[in-house]
Amino acid sequence: MKDYVKINKTGGLHIPIKLRRELNINNGDAVVIEPVEGGGIKVLPYRPSCVFCGVQEHIRELNGKGCCEECYEKLTQTEVMV
Ligand SMILES: [Zn+2]
């Protein structure tokens, strides 16, 4: 599916409703944009992931970063050697 859209005055990009519905992107959701080889841009739905292992399910916040339950348990059960 290809669409032609314009970038607005503030640099915003309108993602067509059909595509947003297809990708389950809602108003106010974050997206990830990244350059691709050949001069393009890739836009992906933002899915929080664990900063330690990359898992995208059961993410909680730990000091402002995403952390999965398994890594959270490992981190909080680590004993500090004195
Ligand atoms: Zn993890």
Domain holding 1: CATH number? 2.10.260.10
Domain count, the chain: 2
34 shares a domain with 20: yes
d(CA 62, CA 55): 15
Distance 28 CA to ligand 1 centre (A): 26
Do residue 16 and residue 38 come from a single domain? yes
Closest by alpha carbon to 49, among 25, 64, 66, 33?
66
| Residue 1 and residue 40 in one domain | yes
Domain span at 13? 1-46
Split at pLDDT 50, 70, 90, the class of 68 is: very high
Cα 46 to ligand 1 centroid, rounded to whole Å: 17
Banded model confidence at residue 25, pLDDT cuts 50, 70, 90: confident
pTM for the model: 0.56
Q: Is the distance from CB of 21 to CB of 32 less than 8 angstroms?
A: no
Do 27 and 52 belong to one domain? no
pLDDT exceeds cutoff 80 at 2 = no
